[in-house]
Structure 1
Amino acid sequence: MTTLPMPGKAYDAAMQRSWLTRVSLSRWTDKVEAFLTTSANDRGPWLTVALGAGIATWFALPSPMHWVAAMTGLLLCAVTVWGVWGRRADRNLLLLAGTTMPLVCAAGLALVWTKSELVGAAAIPHPQVRVLNAVVLERTEQPANDRVRLLLAVRDADDGRAMKVRLNVPLARDGGSLREGAHLRLRARLLPPAPPLVPGAYDFARKAWFDGLSASGTLIGDVEISKAPPAQGELLPDLQRRLAAHVRGQVEGSAGTIAAAFASGDRGAISQVDEDAMRDSGLTHLLSISGLHVSALVGACYLVSLKLLGLWPWLALRVRLPLLAAGIGAAGGVGYTLLTGAEVPTVRSCLAALLVLAAMALGREPLSLRMIAVAAAVVMLFSPEALLGPSFQMSFAAVIAIVALHGSEPMRKFLARSGESLTHRLGRQTAALFLTGVVIELALTPIVMFHFHRSGFYGAFANVMAIPLVTFCAMPLIAFALLLDVVGVGAPAWWAVEQSLNLLLEIARFTAAQPGAVRLFPQMDRATIALFAIGGMWLALWRGPVRLAGLLPVGVATILLILTPVPDVLVTGDGKNAAIRDSSGKLLILRGEPGGYAVEQLQELSATDGDVLHLASWRDAACSPEFCVANVPGRGREWRLLLARNNVMIEERQLAAACSQVDIVIAGRRLPRSCRPAWLKADRQHLSRTGGIAIYLDKHRVEAVADHQGRHGWWSAPDRNGGQ
């Protein structure tokens, strides 16, 4: 029989190190458990955070292999935590966090992946002109753009599959008969849903994928109605259009278009000038039916019904009036949400309002982060893709900021003071309102900068005046005027509505016109916005001094934002346009006109709010009808760029010689192999794989749209000249 050697000193040392490791781990977990036990935060909202983190992980990771690996890792984490602490009664909170959070995160990843597979619609392969036999699913009137936008159900002539198409029809060819249920025959130019024009630009292809949209386009010629729409039409869309038209008929001008947006959610008549003024003043959130509007309506329904029902003694003695009033308020909120289109902010606000009403009816605390978390979870369960949209992020960030601020101990003490004069009380309430506006602006600024590449500096001041004006004046007046219209005496109320909304527009225009009201920023990195989100959620969800730890990631994100480089050259995915930012802050474009969609996107992403000039007029560029050669100064050297102005073919030897003398070649067509610049050849073949690109000359780095797309269904490498 073989005798095993005794372990000796090496074995004793290893055992001692193992024991010390277990003791150290036990002490660390003791501290974590004690921290979770003594912290006063509500733990429920963190489950919603985990759900959102799982959804965001699916969008961030590039391929199914990575998605499966992430879910496997999360499940293993939960199993490991359960195996280590599953039988220890002194690890309840650590066990709960270590198992439920990874499981919910994995569920979020699986949820959005499943929805993508179920609803995702493949885009048409290339631009095409075809005759469509279609049924109108949805109609959106946009008189400010002189068009009607139709959502059509058509059957693909090649493979017979049903698909949805979005079509723009000029108002002159509408006639009012292109309504839901109409069968049409028409000719249209269709485009695949466009990917981002350049890195950081709006991703219409991703939104179209989750909306089941395969193409968008414009009408060619006239429309033949093969079957008229039903005489009655669909109740809610018809009611919304009639209500918007009625309001615009009562209130003239820009005030009427905004009043119609408040009453019905129809923003199609608001002019671009007014939209820009509201956006640059930080008031554009007032145009979207969201928490402000729904809360005002639900609150009014609740209070008015409670007071009126209280006048009936027989009912007041037999029925719990707060519960009945809550039901009336809930019905009003749901009806308003459906009428205005049930967009994400409206649904979120309606859910939150319903939870508040339920809490009030049951005698519970109506405003809490748990209530907001439930509303966010419901939205994500049905529309997980909404997490990446600015509407979801801005609406929830604003409400979380408000509840977290007013739930903090210093704010409670500040607002709870009593035994003072009316003047002091009004002053304190005004100060609290201003502070709330500042906190909302701070919460929304990173989101606005990430999605819209701009930031307003006077939004808090404008909101302090505009929010009370809309909440306590414009909205009640609109409701009162509509009520008076039932008996035909609403004219005085409509006059008051017009004056209040004209004042709102004056506030917006004055604020937007101030020097430095808006500043453009380059595209924020995903890691930067993630740090802002982590820090913001930590500040909102924790209580006590520990919440200040959230300032650390916010501070790091702020530093990263300040250090974010501005691209020197931007090239669109089709190669037909490019923009160069010169040292004086001017934007030099290859083609297009200032004010066009492509030029506006290039201007935003290059963080240039100065003049926009054509490259051909630049002093450091030499242009022929076919090409431009531009000398772009950098740190320590000068870069030479060759840019094609059109697709006219030139002699290959001449082109090869020109390419050999430059660093970068940009063209919207395929160039021969003999064209060999010193660094980069961004021709049609290259751009069809990468999409639009951003070039950082001094860093010798190229960022492409494809770098952030992965193998998600809405992205495909072949050339796609889509449009909005």
Structure 2
Amino acid sequence: MARSAAPAPSKASLPHQIASWAGNALERWLEAERDQLFLWLPVALGTGAAAWFVLPERREWVALILIALGLATAAAVRWRGGRAAPFVAMLGLAVAAGTGLAWMRATRVAAPTLDRPAVVRLAGEVEKIEPLPARGLVRVTLGTLRWERPPRRAPLRVRVSLPQRAVPTTLAAGAAMTLRARLMPPAPPTVPGAYDAARAAWFDGVGASGRGFEPVTVRGVGAPGVRDRLTAHITTALAGSAGGIAAALVTGDMGAIDDADSLAMRRAGLAHLLSVSGLHITATVGIVMAAMLRLLALSRRLALTGLLPLVAAGAGAGAAIGYTWLTGSQVPTIRSCVAALMVLAALALGREALTLRLVAMGALVVLVAWPEAVVGPSFQLSFAAVASIVALHDHPRVRAALLARDEPWTRKWLREAVSLLVTGAVVELALMPIAVFYFHQAGAYGAIANIVAIPLTTFAIMPAVAVALLLDAVGWGAPAWWVAGRAIALLLWIAHGVAALPGAVRAIPAMPLGAFATMVAGGVWLALWRTRARYLGLALLAIGAAWTLVPSAPDLLITGDGRHLAVRQADGGLALLRDRAGGYVRDVLAQNGGIDGVPGLLSDSPEARCNRDLCWWQRRVDGRWRRVLGTRSGYTVPVERLATLCTSADVVVSERRLPRRCRARWLTLDRDALAHSGGIAITFKDERVVRVRREGDEHPWVTAGEEPRRSPAHGRAEHYERCRLRSWAPACAGAWRDR
């Protein structure tokens, strides 16, 4: 009997084989990384929370939650063993949970927000006092408000800055204060890429901020709290910025640090020393544990029990919790405190103390309680620094190089110095994308400066301040304060010296959000995995860095109120429209414009012609003449003259409403148009327009001050004003003409 022919292989067999091979390879990889899978739980939770802040509309938030839950459900249903399906299910549930937590948190803290500037008289209970002696101000947060003439949307909490002379030194929380103040709604970002004060105020429950006028009436003045008294004591013992830095290390209050010294610390890459975080918690716990061990060892009975390490660990835990409370329980401090407690618990149980799991647990605690922290630089800088240090020292080659061994002391100290230098360089590289994204600056010598500054702070300044505070109880603290003052003076000398070096800081324009997200993903991938697949993170870092360099610096920056604009000059610098722009506006426009220094004045530019009311600027960019017209005063300009200039300009900017005859060839940005767009950044080369406010943004701090819907006629007018901003809609914005 003839043997039947073998069946021909099906066409679907090859794709099936490829899928099977890929699935098996994925399972083998995840099995090799099984100890690292838990670390991705806080990453997914933070991704979901960050996505809620990035996506503008409610339907997109719901869609993200449903997609994440659907992915988790599909993975759970298809699970037949292995690690891939549970891992995907965990990620999906965490992303959905992160999005929901951020949404719930924003809804839970909702409070009325002032809708327009107002001069009011009010009384309230003092909730928080922030002395700013370097500026001669005191910032007071008031709650339980009573208004003489309440505004239409009266806030429940306001923040007011007062002259220092107007506030009694004995002012404390719980006192009643009556004053007259000019209040403003929480400010959105001035220009694209700037700090979003409205979002921060929303989560703080602050509905307005402003400046108070004298006289101020205070009733029920009591004794200041422990933190305020300690800050006042330190700044009295050490004058100037030295006292401000010592107070920042002990209580977290940086108000007494001079602006020039604070700027030097930032430019030298030493600003992290002033924000109470892991370095300070570690030093505090270490000092307390060492003191307890030395003191308790004097008792032979206690020393022979073998319980001294446990007792010292308990004392260190108490010190960490007390220090966190004393410094105001900020997010980096809470994260560091949680990590310190877990380290102490691991030491008590005989386990390895410093691992990425501790960092992950600290991140989980913070994200569950304060999901909004994920989009703040404090959280990102803190966790990026700690994670990069732990991941570096967890590498087998680094661990082998740093392993204790019997060798001459010269070689040992050289190895420790190299270790400190490499660690500082890795931390600087890890923090650089975050610093560029939020602060638009990149430092060059921070790693070298930290080699001296970190040991100086840990082993000299903090112990000296702690000893001085203890000796002050018996009046013997003066010598210790002198030592602390000299050490802080050395720290400031290092900061000013490094900040003055050529190329110490490079200003970079606003980084695209996509480039920042790519670099963060690459850094997290590189830090959390252990197999060779981790090095794919280097490719993501390279892509993000290249993406950052692609966009050109904006040629025109316009603030949301239309009062200020900055124009790129032929030499690469910026020139401001108004001669009397405030320091804050100058700094914001300079940073987001990518220059390191003070912008010039448009009235001094050879490319501009200005008078008291108008400024006309023109320059040939990329083969075309670009012309900008800006108003400089509130005085009326003859309509015929203004209309002629408008029709010749590509962009017209004004803080007031312009007549309909004044229409630019491309963009007319007056008060009504900027109310819908917010600040604007324009690049002439690729005709790119970036706005602060996105169309349809439904985040509560964005919609808090919006007017309710009005008549259809008003709706058509509003649509027209919005339409004028859309350079991609020639029907209402006008075509871009060749010149």
1:58 aligned onto 2:45: no
> What is the deviation of 1:42?
1.8
CA shift in 2, pair 1:718/1:298, >3 Å:
closer
**1:566-585 counterparts in 2 under 5 A?**
566-585=553-572
Paired with 2:397 and 2:132, the residues of 1 have a C-alpha distance of: 47
> CA separation in 2, counterparts of 1:601 and 1:451?
11
State the partner residue of 1:165. Answer: 158
Partner of 2:450: 463
Look up the match of 2:40: 46
Work out whether 1:186 is the aligned partner of 2:173. no
C-alpha displacement of 1:717: 9.2
Match of 1:7 in 2: none
Is 1:133 equivalent to 2:123 in the alignment?
yes
User: How many residue pairs align between the two structures?
Assistant: 698
Deviates more, 1:311-320 or 1:29-38: 311-320
Identity of aligned residues (%): 43
One of 200, 209, 229 as aligned partner of 2:193: 200
Residues 122 and 209 in structure 1, CA contact (< 8 A), matched pair in contact too = no
Return the alpha-carbon distance in structure 2 between the equivalents of residues 475 and 717 of structure 1.
44
1:8 match: none
Give the match for residue 108 of structure 2.
Answer: 118
**For 1:551-573, what per-residue CA distance to the aligned partner results, in whole angstroms no more than 9, with x for missing partners?**
00000011112223100000000
Q: Measure how far apart 1:312 and its partner are.
A: 2.2
Match of 1:445 among 400, 407, 432: 432
Aligned to 1:529: 516
SS in 1 for 2:702: coil
Aligned position for 1:4:
none
Q: Which amino acid aligns with 2:220?
A: A
In the TM superposition, residue 332 of structure 1 has moved relative to its aligned partner by 0.6
2:367/2:373 contact within 8 Å kept: yes
**2:115–2:153 contact (8 Å) kept in structure 1:** no
SS state of the match for residue 600, structure 1?
helix
Q: How far apart are the structure 2 equivalents of 1:506 and 1:158?
A: 50
Q: How does 1:273-672 map to 2 (within 5 A)?
A: 273-318=260-305, 320-416=307-403, 418-593=405-580, 596-610=583-597, 612-672=599-659
Q: For the structure 1 residues 578 and 518, does the alpha-carbon distance in structure 2 shift closer, same or farther, using more than 3 Å as the test?
A: same
**Which ranges of structure 1 fall in alignment gaps of 5 or more residues?**
1-11
Cα distance in 1 for residues equivalent to 2:40 and 2:696? 28
- Say whether residues 1:228 and 2:220 are aligned partners: yes
Q: Does the 8 Å contact 2:235/2:256 carry over to 1?
A: no
- Contact kept, 8 Å, 2:112 with 2:154, in 1: the verdict is no
Q: Which whole-Å deviations, capped at 9, do the CAs of 1:186-237 have from their partners, x for residues lacking one?
A: 1111000100000000100000011111000111231123x313x455xxxx
1:249 CA drift (Å): 2.5
Partner letter of residue 407 of structure 1?
D
Structure 1 CA distance for aligned equivalents of residues 325 and 26 of structure 2 = 46
SS at 1:43 equivalent: helix
Q: Is the 8 A contact 1:122 1:713 kept in 2?
A: no
Q: Distance in 1 between matches of 2:598 and 2:369?
A: 44
**For residues 93 and 385 of structure 1, what CA distance do their matches in structure 2 show?**
31
How far the C-alpha of 1:709 sits from its partner, in A, is 8.4
Go from structure 1 to structure 2 and tell me whether the alpha carbon gap of 1:232 and 1:501 turns closer, same or farther (over 3 Å shift).
closer
**Counterpart-to-counterpart distance in 1, 2:239 and 2:672:** 52
Asked if the contact 2:231/2:251 (under 8 Å) is kept, the reply is: yes
**Structure 1 CA distance for aligned equivalents of residues 297 and 695 of structure 2:** 59
TM-score (norm 1): 0.93
> How many Å separate the matches in 2 of 1:366 and 1:592?
57
Cα distance in 1, alignment partners of residues 75 and 510 from structure 2: 39
In structure 2, the CA distance between the partners of 1:653 and 1:253, relative to structure 1 (3 Å rule), is closer
Aligned equivalent of 1:5: none
Contact 2:586 2:598 survives alignment (8 Å): no
Tell me how far 1:161 sits from its aligned partner. Answer: 6.2
Separation in 1 of the partners of 2:444 and 2:257?
Answer: 24
Structure 2 contact 57–696 (Cα < 8 Å) conserved? no
Q: Any idea what SS the aligned residue of 1:641 has?
A: strand
> CA 1:179/1:709 → structure 2, altered by over 3 Å: closer, same or farther?
farther
Preserved contact between residue 392 and residue 423 of structure 2 (Cα < 8 Å): yes
Q: Which amino acid aligns with 2:390?
A: V
Q: Is the 8 A contact 1:169 1:218 kept in 2?
A: yes
How far the C-alpha of 1:658 sits from its partner, in A, is: 1.6
Question: Which sections of structure 2, spanning at least 5 residues, go unmatched?
Answer: 1-6, 708-739
| 1:270-300 residue CA offsets vs partner (Å, 9 max, x unmatched) | 1001101101100011111111111100111
Residue 241 of structure 1, CA deviation: 1.9
Q: Which has the higher contact order (CA 8 A, sep 6+)?
A: 1
Task: Tell me the amino acid that sits aligned with residue 215 of structure 2.
Answer: D
Contact 1:689 1:718 in 2 (8 A): no
TM-score by length of structure 2 reads 0.91
Q: C-alpha displacement at 1:321, in angstroms?
A: 2.5
Taking the aligned partners of 2:551 and 2:482, their CA distance within structure 1 comes to 49
Q: Aligned partners of 1:256, 1:569: CA distance in 2, in Å?
A: 41
SS in 1 for 2:128: strand
SS of the equivalent of 1:707 reads coil
User: Structure 1 stretch 320-329 or stretch 586-595: which is displaced more?
Assistant: 586-595
Letter of the structure 2 residue corresponding to residue 607 of structure 1: G
Q: Tell me, in whole angstroms, the C-alpha distance in 2 between the residues paired with 1:604 and 1:254.
A: 25
Shift of 1:248: 2.3
Secondary structure of 2:701's aligned partner: coil
| Inter-partner Cα distance in structure 2 for 1:718 and 1:181 | 30
- Whether the 8 Å CA contact 1:626–1:645 is kept in 2: the answer is yes
- The residue number in structure 2 matching 1:6 is none
The answer to whether the 8 A contact 1:40-1:542 is kept is: no
Q: CA RMSD in A?
A: 2.0
Q: How much does 1:614 deviate?
A: 1.6
Tell me, yes or no, if structure 1 residue 99 matches structure 2 residue 127: no
Question: One-letter code of the match for 2:665?
Answer: A
Amino acid at match of 2:204: D
Q: Which amino acid aligns with 2:379?
A: F
Q: Deviations over 1:490-515 (max 9, x none)?
A: 22221111111111010001000111
How much does 1:583 deviate? 1.7
Which residue pairs with 2:234 in the alignment? 247
Measured in 2, the distance between the counterparts of 1:104 and 1:719 equals 33
Q: Classify 1:133/1:709 alpha carbon distance in 2 versus 1 (closer, same or farther; 3 Å).
A: farther
2:21 to 14, 18, 27: 27
* 1:698 corresponds to 2:691: no
Give the CA deviation at 1:324.
1.9
